[in-house]
Each structure stands twice: as C-alpha cells, then as structure tokens.
C-alpha cells in the first residue's frame, strides 16, 4: 500500500558546538494509511521532539518527510495541519489559559473555514461526548477549572473533531484513569476503523502500546533502535534497552 507518511533520516540538534544535543538522530520509517504505530522509549529519548518535527512545529536540521509522496516543505502549514493533527503530552501547557473549552474548540474549527453554527455545535458536542464529557457541563469552563484528565480529554476531543488523516498523539492518556483510558483508546481504534485515520501513538505504557498499535518503534537516545510488529518486539526483543524497558514494567497480578 502507498504510504501516508514517509520519514527519511530525520534529525534535530539543539544548540551548537560543545553544547549541541542531538535529540533526534536519523530516524526513518513509513506509515501506511490507517496504521497505528506506537513510539516508546525512556524520558528524554526524543519522542516529543520527533512529534514536533512531524507536526512541523520544529524544523529538522537534516532529513525529509513526505506526505502522500509530496515533500512536506512544499505544503503550506495550514493545509498540512488539516491533514496532520496533534494531542500534546501536557494538557496543562497546551491549553490557552484565557480560552474557555467552547472557544478552544471553535477556534480549532476555523481551520476549515466558515461552518454553519448548527454544524459547529453538533461537531463539538459529538466530540466531547465521545471522550466521556458532557458538553453542557464542560463548554463554559476554563482550563484551571478542569481536572488534569478533563483537560486531556478536551484535547483529544479537539483533535478527533478535526478528523485528520494523521493524528500524532503524545501520551494522550497519561492523565486518565484506567476506565477512561480504555474509552479513549477504543475511540481511537474506532476512528481508525471508520475513517482510516493513521496514528502515531507516543506512550510509555507498554500495556497501551500492546492494546492499540500495529507496530512499535523503540527510541533510545534519539535513535530508533528497534522496530516491528508488537508481538515480535515484545517476544524477540534484540536491543538491550528494549529488554530493560520490558523488565521495568510493573506487574499487576500475582
């Protein structure tokens, strides 16, 4: 199948000279339409930097990305963001302090140009309900009035509402309880099924990576050190870091 996204030898260095830090080093991978790829790796391994590169919030120092075969540099940002959307790691930072939930969602919809009021309202309501939030209770609230999990779900709702081709989700469920986590992951699965959305799912929770994704990329110090179908990476891991990662997972039963 034709790739939706091709990432080619992507690198990003912060700073220069002695202080230079290569946060992402020569990362390459392909993503098929409708495919879900999990990116796992320790803190500081470059996962969020990779996410920001893919979202074009940061420019690479080297490398290239193709969206449906086209060099992304040639695609205007607004057009690109209609296809590629994000849920950020940190629901605290991502939310404008002075925007109510309603304003935040409305602003996101302007990406699509003018929409009839009814349509806008319907989309916002549907999106909030799908993440287990009641629109009447939540639309008028400001970020400081929401709990961590509520904020995170608003951000997921926002992204889903925009129906992107590719969703880059940076730990979208880290602030959610187990039940909501299942609800949100099921929602992502269903959206993939229905609309063929591809997902880059960044997580440090191996259980979630297992549950949601088709393929896993393991990052270590900026590089992809292991890649493959979930079962293969878990059962026949090659890289010592992957092995350590798996052995540090806390056991639940027993």
Partner 1 sequence: METLLSVKNLCAAYVQGGQRVRVVDGVSLELRRGEVLGIAGESGCGKSTLAQVLALLARPPLWVEQGEFWLDGTIYHLAQEHRLSRELRGCKVAMLPQGALNALNPTARIREIALEVIRAHQPKTTPQEAYARTQERLERLGLPVRVLEAYPHQLSGGMRQRVVTVISTLLNPKVLIADEPTSALDVSSQKAVVKLLRELLEQRVIEGVIFIAHDLPLLRNVADRIAIMYAGKVVELGPSREMVEASRHPYTKALVEAVLVPEPYIRQRRVEGIEGTPPDLRAPPPGCRFAPRCRYAWARCRELEPPPFGDKERFAACWLLEGMSA
Ligand X SMILES: Nc1ncnc2c1ncn2[C@@H]1O[C@H](COP(=O)(O)OP(=O)(O)OP(=O)(O)O)[C@@H](O)[C@H]1O
Ligand Y SMILES: Nc1ncnc2c1ncn2[C@@H]1O[C@H](COP(=O)(O)OP(=O)(O)O)[C@@H](O)[C@H]1O
Residues that bind ligand X (CB under 6 A): 14-15, 21, 23, 41, 43-49, 89
Please tell me the count of residues contacting Mg ion according to CB under 5 A.
Answer: 4
Q: Which does 252 bind (CB under 5 to 8 A by kind): partner 1, ligand Y, ligand X, none?
A: partner 1
Q: Which does 34 bind (CB under 5 to 8 A by kind): ligand Y, partner 1, Mg ion, none?
A: none
Looking at the Cβ atoms of 16 and 179, the one nearer to ligand X is 16
Contact assessment for residue 102 and residue 96, using Cβ atoms and an 8 Å cutoff: no
User: What does the alpha-carbon distance between residue 181 and residue 201 come to, in Å, rounded to a whole number?
Assistant: 13
Report DSSP letters for 1-50, one per residue.
---SEEEEEEEEEES-GGG-EEEEEEEEEEE-TT-EEEEEE-TTSSHHHH
Please tell me the count of residues contacting ligand Y according to CB under 6 A.
Answer: 7
> Considering the rule CB under 8 A, would residue 17 count as an interface residue with partner 1?
no
Which of 6, 11, 22, 150 forms a contact with partner 1 (CB under 8 A)? 150
Between 91 and 110, how does the x/- string for binding to partner 1 read (CB under 8 A)?
Answer: xxx-----------------
What contacts 157, CB < 8 A, 6 or more positions away?
105, 124, 127, 128, 130, 131, 133
In angstroms, the first-to-last Cα distance of the chain is 43
What contacts 219, CB < 8 A, 6 or more positions away?
27, 39, 40, 41, 45, 46, 47, 50, 225
> Considering the rule CB under 5 A, would residue 44 count as an interface residue with Mg ion?
no
Contact residues: partner 1, CB under 8 A: 14, 40-45, 48, 89-93, 132-134, 137, 145-150, 153, 171, 174-183, 185-186, 204-208, 210-211, 230-231, 234-235, 244-245, 248-253
Contact residues: Mg ion, CB under 5 A: 48, 89, 147-148
């Amino acid at each position: 199948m034709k790739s939706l996204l091709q990432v080619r030898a992507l690198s990003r260095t912060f700073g220069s000279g002695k202080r230079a830090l290569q946060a992402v080093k020569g990362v390459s991978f392909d993503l098929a339409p409708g495919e879900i790829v999990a990116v796992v790796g320790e803190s500081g391994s470059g996962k969020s930097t990779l996410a920001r590169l893919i979202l074009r919030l940061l420019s690479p120092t080297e490398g290239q990305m193709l969206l449906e075969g086209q060099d992304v540099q040639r695609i205007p940002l607004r057009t690109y963001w209609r296809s590629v959307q994000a849920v950020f790691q940190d629901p605290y930072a991502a939310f404008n302090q002075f925007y109510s939930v309603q304003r935040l969602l409305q602003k996101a919809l302007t990406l699509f140009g003018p929409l009839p009021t009814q349509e806008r309202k319907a989309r916002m309501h549907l999106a909030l309900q799908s993440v287990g939030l009641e629109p009447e209770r939540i639309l008028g609230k400001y970020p400081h009035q929401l709990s961590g999990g509520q904020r995170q779900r608003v951000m997921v709702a926002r992204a889903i509402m925009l129906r992107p081709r590719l969703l880059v989700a940076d730990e979208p469920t880290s602030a959610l309880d187990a039940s909501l986590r299942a609800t949100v992951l099921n929602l992502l699965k269903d959206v993939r099924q229905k609309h063929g959305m591809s997902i880059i799912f960044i997580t440090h929770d191996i259980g979630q990576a297992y549950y949601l994704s088709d393929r896993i990329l393991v990052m270590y110090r900026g590089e992809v050190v292991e890649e493959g179908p979930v079962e293969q990476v878990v059962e026949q891991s090659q890289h010592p870091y992957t092995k350590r990662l798996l052995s540090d997972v806390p056991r639940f039963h027993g």
